[in-house]
Amino acid sequence: MIYFDYAATSLKRKEIIEEILAKFEDFDANADSTHGLGRKAKKSLEEARRKIASSIKADPRRVIFTSGASESNNTVINAYRGSNIISTNIEHDSILNNLEGEKVTYLKADKHGLVSLDDLKSKLKDDTKLVIVMFVNNELSTIEPVREIGEYLKDKPVHFHVDAVQAYGHLDIDVDEIFCDSLSLSGHKVGGINGFGILYLREDIEPFIKGGEQEKHRRAGTSFVMGAYSMAEAFEKTLTEREKIRDLKKYFLAELDKVKINYEINGSLDNSSDHIVNVYFKDFKSDFLLTYLDMHGICASAGSACRAGALEPSRVLTNIYDEERALHSLRFSFGYKNEKADIDYLMKVLKELNK
């Protein structure tokens, strides 16, 4: 199988799993136990925390381990329920579905998939308590103006939350440069084990999961030491792969022109991350294309994996363009295992559609 769905989840890095198995005692026990094995696990956990914090230029004491970005996003929203909130109409489902029934004003993305600081300024009210904007859109790869928004909000009594899942490993992230009050990440997007992520919090808020005293009373539950280790190690590997991913996207776009298929790029190419391309195929519906590609051993997607299975039109594309365009679009996302030969094969398969 050829895999172009890294934005949904990265293929796992087997070398990290092998490292975990080779020193299994470092992860085996409960990190809050006081015996020798517990202390080993705690050491591994805290070393991973330092590495992950360093990857976003954060104080390790402000990094909370969670089950992933969905939990992290829920934690922030839960702390501000009942308040006036501003978000965008192209957020991840863990944001949009969670805001239903709340007092929300939505910033509308333009045809390039970008929201506007001026739009935010016009909609910010004295009683606005929370603003949520993703760093890189998970379907279009557009880079949102989070730095400008953070700069504008930094001296206002508003909590600014950034979902940085798709930016992680692909763009430099500095929590102080974007002036965010909180930020969410998932380890599996860079090749770590599923079910682990972080919530950066500049100042503590009400815990979402309550129980034990883990994470300094900020998130209960037995620590997932292997998940923490895998995320920390995977991030370091992504830094060596950026140029390769950038070249793959350029190659994909150049080769797509040669196929002579009727297409347009959704979103902005000039202001986007290097690992995602969203393509509107005017003459073919996405459900047909997904099946056709899958029959030829190629994995892609028609939108967020969180809406997969139902084959519903992408909410992001529907909000920016219309449902018809959404029903004719596919997302291709690249990762560390992809090579130019994979793209050559994809283009060969697409050429068959013209016969």
pLDDT digits (tens, 9 = 90+) for 35-66: 999 999 999 999 999 999 999 999 999 999 99
Q: What is the mean pLDDT of residues 128-154?
A: 98
Q: Are 235 and 188 in contact (CB under 8 A)?
A: no
User: 156 and 54 in one domain?
Assistant: yes
User: 258 and 113 in one domain?
Assistant: no
Report the greatest alpha carbon distance in the chain: 68
Q: DSSP E strands: which ranges in the chain?
A: 2-3, 63-66, 84-88, 103-107, 128-134, 159-163, 182-186, 197-201, 263-265, 276-281, 298-299, 329-333
User: 245 and 140 in one domain?
Assistant: no
Answer with the one of 213, 236, 259 that is the final residue of a domain: 236
Q: Are 138 and 165 in contact (CB under 8 A)?
A: yes
Residue 307 has pLDDT above 90, yes or no: no
User: 268 and 214 in one domain?
Assistant: no
User: 84 and 220 in one domain?
Assistant: yes
User: 325 and 200 in one domain?
Assistant: no
User: 246 and 232 in one domain?
Assistant: no
CA distance 35 to 29: 9
CA distance 178 to 182: 10
User: 136 and 19 in one domain?
Assistant: yes
Specify the DSSP class assigned to residue 11. P
For residue 269, the enclosing domain spans: 2-9+241-353
| 14 — pLDDT class (breaks 50, 70, 90) | very high
Q: What is the mean pLDDT of residues 307-332?
A: 86
Answer with the one of 206, 236, 266 that is the final residue of a domain: 236
Neighbour count for residue 29 (Cβ, 10 Å) = 17
| 105 — pLDDT class (breaks 50, 70, 90) | very high
User: 299 and 192 in one domain?
Assistant: no
Residue 153 has pLDDT above 80, yes or no: yes
> Which CATH number does the domain housing residue 179 bear?
3.40.640.10
Instruction: Determine phi and psi for 156, rounding to 5 degrees.
Output: -105, 155
User: 254 and 208 in one domain?
Assistant: no
Catalytic residue positions, numbered: 306
Q: What is the pLDDT of residues 159-209, one digit of tens each?
A: 999 999 999 999 999 999 999 999 999 999 999 999 999 999 999 998 888
Q: Are 290 and 314 in contact (CB under 8 A)?
A: no
User: 181 and 246 in one domain?
Assistant: no
Look up residue 199 and give its amino acid: L
| pLDDT for position 212 | 85
Cα→Cα distances 302→4, 68, 299, Å: 11, 22, 11
Which strands make up the sheet holding 329-333, listed edge to edge? 263-265, 276-281, 329-333
Q: What is the pLDDT of residues 256-277, one digit of tens each?
A: 999 989 999 999 999 999 999 9
Specify the DSSP class assigned to residue 205. -
Angle at 333 between CA 13 and CA 89, to 5 degrees: 120
Average pLDDT, the chain: 95
CA dihedral 61, 63, 67, 73 (to 10 degrees): 130
Q: How many domains does the chain have?
A: 2
Q: What is the mean pLDDT of residues 231-240?
A: 96
Answer with the one of 207, 236, 265 that is the final residue of a domain: 236
User: 148 and 221 in one domain?
Assistant: yes
> Which CATH number does the domain housing residue 292 bear?
3.90.1150.10
| pLDDT for position 305 | 54
